[in-house]
């Protein structure tokens, strides 16, 4: 296939970058492009999709973060040549705005992973977990999202299951979106929850690890969904303002 010979529907200008993401992902689903293929230049994509440069770049940035595409300096943009073995990234790309579904998927995977981790986690990984907890506790500006993400990533790695590990890594990418929704931090609660999970793993107790992870993720779910609802309500008020 020629790198420029693709067929996409024009995107309504009133929509957000999610529709661009869907259009680009559909190129893979329809077989018009294959993993490793190069995307057309930005100008051509903007013309075919009928969107502005900022909208297109926002969509491409999301796709890159999710591992669907790779952008090379002065080399163009390519579909990840491993995407065929990681279809979960494609599904995530199509569901990126469905926060409740993403949170539930993360809960389902992490609750299973933490029980496996209780049996497989190494002493070195336990030390790494404790370090992330200390970093969260010592953070001065409450901007500890990177350490929070690292904590969950270490647990995923400790389960030593590359299939589920890839799914968790894809889901943890949404951590950035979740971070943007959070207005106030609960550092003490985060530290308390992480310490409880850490101690359960250190005791090699899968049942306690499951219970503590469930408590933590349930708290995160309720908090994020409440913030999302507030954001949607504020957005509705702003867009309906007859200024």
- Condensed to tens digits (0 to 9), the pLDDT of residues 84-129 reads 545 555 555 555 567 777 788 888 888 999 999 999 999 999 999 9
User: Quick one: DSSP state of residue 10?
Assistant: P
Percent of the chain with pLDDT strictly greater than 70: 69
Predicted pLDDT at 235: 42
What is the reported pLDDT for 85? 45
**Mean pLDDT over each residue of the chain, to the nearest integer:** 78
Do 82 and 31 sit in the same domain of this protein?
yes
Which domain does 34 fall in, by range? 17-87
- Indicate whether 236 pLDDT > 70: no
> Residue 1 domain-assigned?
no
Do 227 and 125 share a domain, yes or no?
Answer: yes
Is residue 8 one of the residues assigned to a domain? Answer: no
pLDDT of residue 182: 59
Calculate the CA dihedral of residues 118, 124, 129, 132 and round it to 10 degrees: -170
The answer to whether residue 222 is domain-embedded is yes
Q: Kindly state whether residues 105 and 222 are assigned to the same domain.
A: yes
Residues 179 and 150 in one domain: yes
Query: Do 228 and 122 share a structural domain?
Result: yes
Same domain, 23 and 115: no
Query: What integer is the mean pLDDT of 207-233?
Result: 82
Classify residue 9 by its DSSP letter: P
Listed ranges 95-104, 154-163, 213-222; the one with the highest mean pLDDT? 213-222
Nearest to 122 by CA among 75, 155, 164: 155
Please report the pLDDT score of residue 243 as a whole number. Answer: 38
- How sure is the predictor about 72, in pLDDT bands with cuts at 50, 70 and 90? confident
In tens, the pLDDT along 30-69 reads: 778 888 889 989 899 999 888 889 989 888 887 887 777 8
CA torsion angle 232 236 237 240 (round to 10): 170
Q: Are 102 and 73 within one domain?
A: no
The pLDDT score that the predictor gives to residue 168 is 72
Assess whether 186 and 207 both reside in one domain.
yes
- Give residue 126's pLDDT: 98
In this structure, of 41-55, 140-154, 160-174, 199-213, the range with the lowest mean pLDDT score is 160-174
Q: Quick one: 119 and 212 in the same domain? A: yes
Residue 170 pLDDT > 80, yes or no?
no
Higher-pLDDT residue of 234, 145: 145
Which ranges of 121-172 would DSSP assign to H, the alpha helix? Answer: 123-138, 145-158, 162-172
* DSSP strands (E only) in the chain: 69-72, 76-79
**76: three-class secondary structure by DSSP:** strand
pLDDT computed for residue 125 by the predictor: 97
Domain with residue 133: its CATH number is 1.20.120.530
pTM above 0.85, yes or no: no
Residue 166 has pLDDT above 50, yes or no: yes
Burial class (CB in 10 A: 0-12, 13-18, 19+), 152: buried
Residue 143 in tokens: 């901007």
């Amino acid at each position: 296939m020629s790198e420029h010979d693709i067929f996409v529907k024009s995107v309504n200008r009133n929509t957000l970058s999610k529709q661009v993401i869907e259009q680009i992902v559909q190129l893979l689903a329809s077989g018009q492009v294959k993993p490793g293929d190069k995307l057309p230049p930005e100008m051509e994509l903007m013309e075919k999709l009928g969107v502005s440069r900022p909208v297109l770049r926002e969509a491409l940035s999301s796709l890159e973060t999710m591992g669907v595409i790779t952008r090379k300096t002065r080399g163009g943009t390519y579909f990840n040549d491993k995407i065929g073995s990681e279809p979960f990234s494609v599904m995530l790309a199509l569901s990126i705005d469905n926060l409740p579904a993403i949170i539930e998927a993360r809960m389902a995977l992490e609750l299973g992973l933490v029980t496996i981790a209780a049996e497989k986690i190494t002493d070195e990984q336990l030390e790494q977990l404790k370090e992330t907890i200390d970093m969260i506790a010592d953070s001065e500006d409450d901007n500890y999202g990177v350490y929070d993400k690292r904590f969950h990533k270490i647990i995923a790695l400790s389960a030593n299951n590359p299939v589920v590990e890839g799914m968790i890594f894809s889901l943890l990418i949404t951590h950035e979106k979740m971070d943007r929704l959070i207005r106030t931090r609960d550092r003490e609660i985060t530290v308390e929850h992480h310490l409880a999970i850490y101690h359960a793993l250190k005791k090699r107790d899968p049942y306690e690890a499951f219970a503590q992870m469930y408590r933590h993720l349930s708290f995160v779910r309720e908090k994020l969904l409440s913030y999302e609802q507030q954001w949607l309500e504020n957005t509705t008020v702003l867009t309906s303002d007859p200024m």
